[in-house]
Structure 1
Amino acid sequence: MQLGMIGLGRMGANMALRLSRGGHDVVGFDPVPAARTGAEGEGLATVASLEALAERVDAPRVLWMMVPAGAIVDATIASLQPLLSPGDVLVDGGNSFYQDSQRRAAALDDAGIAYLDVGTSGGVWGLAEGYSLMIGGHEDAARRLSPVFATLAPAADRGWARVGPSGAGHYAKMIHNGIEYGMMQAYAEGFAILERRQDLIADLPQLAELWRHGSVVRSWLLDLTAGALAGNPQLDGIAPYVPDSGEGRWTVAEAIALDVAAPVITQSLIERLRSRDDNAFADKLLSAMRNAFGGHAVKRD
């Protein structure tokens, strides 16, 4: 199948490479010349504009966007829509908010263009291991792209599925990432406790490797954790600052809207926010309060 890939950052380029190596005819576009040059160095064909991409891909077109969530997606669609025709399919494989995806799908449907929201998990390992694909949108369009999904997934018969109507793919990915937040926080806290008792557990990399085999807590995240500890047991040079992609926030907001208790996911998000507070004003105020009501000593900078 022929398709165009929009966005040749690391993940977009890796997805295009996996498709190309799987026998698909892939043409890529990125507004950053260096990204196009890098993709060309991997053997991918690229073009220098969206107009050239629309001309290069045969109708009915399949165009796959891998661009950051938010205004950039809307701007890309606004630039693309005059170039598209009824019967074309536009895929958003990024981490868009599901309600934005529903809005975009409805608007494009009026023009006869199918919009698929595809929650994509696999990160930088997807090129070699395959991607988990959560697909939302028109059933006919999803069926048409099944050869593409089967190539991107770990195997043709697993790791991908149409999970529901428009918005369902990005909704599933949102909750997936919320769960991921909680799992990562649990591993981080457990190993932090272990690190404090080096008199008992002196070799964290050894323990992480041990848990990878037969343990109830074994997982791909633990595999990655073990690899990180083996390469840098003291985590030297890594700042205690944890960003978030936004999907954890959306998951917490959704839980509140649905009256669903999600304390683990919520607290894991709060811990990420806390990691960014260099000033830690709240902690300073807590210390001042303890001093005020109980005369407890205040540790000075």
Structure 2
Amino acid sequence: MELGMVGLGRMGGNMAQRLLRDGHTVVGFDPDAAARKALADEGGGTADSLQALVAALPAPRAVWMMVPAGKITDGTVEALAGLLAPGDVVIDGGNSNYKDTLRRAQALAAKRIGYVDCGTSGGVWGLAEGYSLMVGGDQAVVERLRPVFETLAPAKDAGWGHVGPVGSGHFTKMVHNGIEYGLMQAYAEGFSILRHKQEFALDLHQVAQIWRSGSVVRSWLLDLTADALGKNPTLDGIAPWVADSGEGRWTVAEAIDLDVPAPVIALSLMARLRSRDDDSFADKLLAAMRNEFGGHAIRKA
């Protein structure tokens, strides 16, 4: 199948490579000339503009976007809307908010251009292991794109699926990432408890390796944790600052809207936000309050 790829960063570039290796034709566009060259070195076609990309694809066209959520995705969709023709389809493989996806799909539907949202998980390991793909969109359009999904997934019949109408793919990926927040936080807290039991002098890498086999807490995240602890047992040089890319916030907001209790996901998000406060006013005020009501000592900065 011939596919256009917009966004040839690490994940987009790896996805293009996986498609090329399975015999698909990929034409890619990225503002970064080095990213275009990397695709060309893998045997892919390149274009130096969206116009050139669309012109290089046979109709009906399929264009896969791997660009950051928000304004960049909006701008890309708007530009493609003016270039594509009825019967063409846009696939958004990024981490868009499903509400934005619904809006974009409606705008393209007015031009009879299809829109498929593909929640994508796999990160830097996807090139070798395959990607988990949660696909939303019209059944007929998704079926037309089946060869692409089967190639990108770990196997033709595993790791991907058409989960529902447009918007459902990104909604499912949003919740997936919310769960990920909770799992990561549980591992982080558990290993922190182990480390603080200093009289046992536990080897955290050893413990992680033990848990990887037979344990009810074994998982790919634990595999990656063991790998990280093996490389850097004391995590030297790593600042205790944890970013979030939005999906956890959206999951918590959706849980509130649906009256669904999600305390673990909510608290894991709060922990990430707390990690960024190097000079916590709240903690200073807590210390001051304890001093006021109980005369407890205040540690000077």
Using the size of structure 2 for normalisation, the TM-score is: 0.98
Corresponding position of 1:44:
44
Displacement of 1:48 after TM fit?
0.6
Separation of aligned partners in 2, 1:263 and 1:202? 30
What is the identity percentage for the equivalent residue pairs of Structure 1 and Structure 2?
Answer: 66
Corresponding position of 1:273:
273
Corresponding position of 2:148:
148
1:34-183 superposed matches below 5 A: 34-183=34-183
Q: Secondary structure at the match of 2:120?
A: strand
Corresponding position of 1:31:
31
Q: How many residues align?
A: 301
Separation of aligned partners in 2, 1:237 and 1:14? 28
Separation of aligned partners in 2, 1:45 and 1:84? 19
Separation of aligned partners in 1, 2:278 and 2:120? 33
Separation of aligned partners in 2, 1:297 and 1:71? 49
Q: Secondary structure at the match of 2:82?
A: helix
Structure 2 residues not aligned, in runs of 5+: none
The one-letter code matched in structure 2 to 1:139 is Q
The one-letter code matched in structure 1 to 2:113 is I
The one-letter code matched in structure 2 to 1:219 is S
Structure 1 residues not aligned, in runs of 5+: none
Q: Secondary structure at the match of 1:116?
A: strand
Corresponding position of 2:222:
222
Separation of aligned partners in 1, 2:44 and 2:203? 44
Q: Secondary structure at the match of 1:207?
A: helix
Displacement of 1:39 after TM fit?
2.7
The one-letter code matched in structure 1 to 2:199 is D
The one-letter code matched in structure 2 to 1:7 is G
Assess if the C-alpha contact under 8 Å between 2:20 and 2:43 holds in 1: no
Q: Deviations over 1:10-36 (max 9, x none)?
A: 000000000110110011110122222
Separation of aligned partners in 2, 1:177 and 1:227? 21
- Provide runs of 4+ in structure 1 moved above 2 Å: 37-45
Corresponding position of 1:233:
233
Q: Secondary structure at the match of 1:230?
A: helix
Q: Is residue 2 of structure 2 the alignment partner of residue 2 of structure 1?
A: yes
The one-letter code matched in structure 1 to 2:20 is S
Displacement of 1:109 after TM fit?
0.9
Displacement of 1:40 after TM fit?
2.7
Q: Deviations over 1:169-222 (max 9, x none)?
A: 000000000000000000000000011113214211011011000000000000
Assess if the C-alpha contact under 8 Å between 2:25 and 2:44 holds in 1: no
The one-letter code matched in structure 1 to 2:196 is R
Q: Secondary structure at the match of 1:199?
A: helix
1:174-253 superposed matches below 5 A: 174-253=174-253
Using the size of structure 1 for normalisation, the TM-score is: 0.98
Q: Secondary structure at the match of 1:83?
A: coil
The one-letter code matched in structure 2 to 1:204 is L
Separation of aligned partners in 2, 1:71 and 1:257? 24
Displacement of 1:60 after TM fit?
0.4
Displacement of 1:38 after TM fit?
2.9
Separation of aligned partners in 2, 1:131 and 1:211? 25
